[in-house]
């Protein structure tokens, strides 16, 4: 594990939430959807709605772990001209307006193509705080010198509902910032109900790590958000927000519509 050397915005936000006995609301959007410039407006609207952390999806041509909603968002972003360098430049502009914690949610391919260590350094310099590489297991990173974690960004780890206790311990040992517990199998997408066994799995994870645990995959309404918030340190909402951007990306009032949709979700999480 690459031990964090200094606190960053993710650490500080969770410390504040813990002091206030509040849960985190983590919002996912695809950077560049509908455009990189409008992504700035999207993030600021999510912050205004009360989001604590923003996951910015790095557009990729083959997002195999994503459902159709997020796949289409990546495609729209790429068609609109988004690139890895463009996303980093957008983050620099975004930092002129907000200090909300930012996590880059990505596949290994675009990061590796950019240069793994170089990406970490430049992303941190631009203003990113963490990175979640969907298809890079921690044991693979430890076996390949060029993929070892750089200290610039917090390395967020994913844990699946099928992970064994031994695997959970291994993953949790290298977790930084927070752990993202995927509450159900399959690809991303909204669901009509909350997965079972969340409280039990979160307890197992927390016994193996001292970093917060946030739960996502399928959360789309305030009742679901509140139910998950009662069992974890935070709630992640992605596809439901991305779908709203898809439906209103060309509307001048996109930010207002995002605010109206997300605030009830945030309020439900904070009321727990």
pLDDT of amino acid 195: 58
Q: Which of 55, 122, 129, 152 is catalytic?
A: 55
Residue 118 included in any domain: yes
Residue 3 included in any domain: no
- Asked if pLDDT for residue 192 goes beyond 60, the answer is no
Residue 1 included in any domain: no
- Asked if pLDDT for residue 41 goes beyond 80, the answer is yes
Q: Which of 66, 129, 152, 227 is catalytic?
A: 66
* Gap between the Cα atoms of 215 and 185, Å rounded: 13
117 as an active site residue: the answer is no
What are the residues facing 55 on neighbouring strands? 28, 103
Q: For 101-160, how does the pLDDT look when each residue is reduced to its tens digit (9 = 90+)?
A: 999 999 999 999 999 999 999 999 999 999 999 998 887 877 787 887 678 899 999 999
Residue 157 included in any domain: yes
Range of the domain at 125: 17-270
Q: Compute CA distances 192 → 67, 185, 220, whole Å.
A: 15, 15, 8
Residue 198 included in any domain: yes
User: Looking at residue 262, which CATH number applies to its domain?
Assistant: 3.20.20.70
Residue 56 included in any domain: yes
pLDDT of amino acid 196: 66
pLDDT of amino acid 149: 67
Contact 25, 234 (CB under 8 A): yes
Q: Which residue has the tokens 């502009």?
A: 93
Residue 185 included in any domain: yes
pLDDT of amino acid 187: 42
Residue 5 included in any domain: no
Output 31 or 63, whichever has higher pLDDT.
31
55 as an active site residue: the answer is yes
pTM of the model: 0.93
DSSP 118-178: HHHHHHHHHT--EEEETT--HHHHHH-GGGSPPTTSEE-EEE-TT--HHHHHHHHHT--S-
Q: Provide the domain count of the chain.
A: 1
């Amino acid at each position: 594990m690459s031990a964090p050397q200094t606190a960053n915005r993710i650490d500080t936000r969770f410390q504040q939430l813990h002091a206030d006995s509040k849960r985190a609301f983590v919002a996912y959007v695809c950077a560049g959807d509908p455009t990189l410039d409008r992504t700035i407006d999207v993030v600021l609207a999510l912050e205004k709605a009360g989001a604590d952390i923003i996951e910015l999806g790095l557009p990729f041509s083959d997002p195999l772990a994503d459902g159709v909603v997020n796949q289409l968002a990546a495609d729209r972003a790429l068609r609109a001209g988004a690139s890895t360098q463009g996303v980093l430049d957008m983050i620099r502009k975004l930092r002129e307006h907000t200090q909300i914690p930012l996590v880059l949610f990505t596949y290994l391919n675009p990061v590796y193509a950019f240069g793994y260590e170089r990406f970490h350094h430049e992303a941190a310099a631009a203003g990113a705080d963490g990175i979640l590489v969907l298809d890079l297991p921690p044991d693979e990173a430890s076996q390949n010198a060029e993929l070892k974690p750089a200290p610039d960004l917090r390395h967020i780890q994913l844990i699946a509902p099928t992970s064994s206790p031994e695997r959970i311990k291994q993953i949790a040992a290298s977790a930084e910032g927070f752990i993202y517990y995927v509450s159900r199998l399959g690809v991303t997408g909204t669901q009509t109900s909350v997965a079972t066994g969340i409280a039990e799995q979160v307890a197992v994870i927390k016994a193996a790590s001292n970093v917060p645990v946030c739960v996502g995959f399928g959360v789309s309404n305030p009742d679901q958000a509140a139910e998950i918030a009662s069992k974890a340190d935070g709630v992640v909402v992605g596809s439901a927000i991305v779908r709203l951007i898809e439906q209103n990306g060309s509307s001048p009032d996109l930010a207002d519509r995002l605010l109206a949709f997300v605030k009830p979700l945030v309020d439900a999480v904070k009321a727990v």
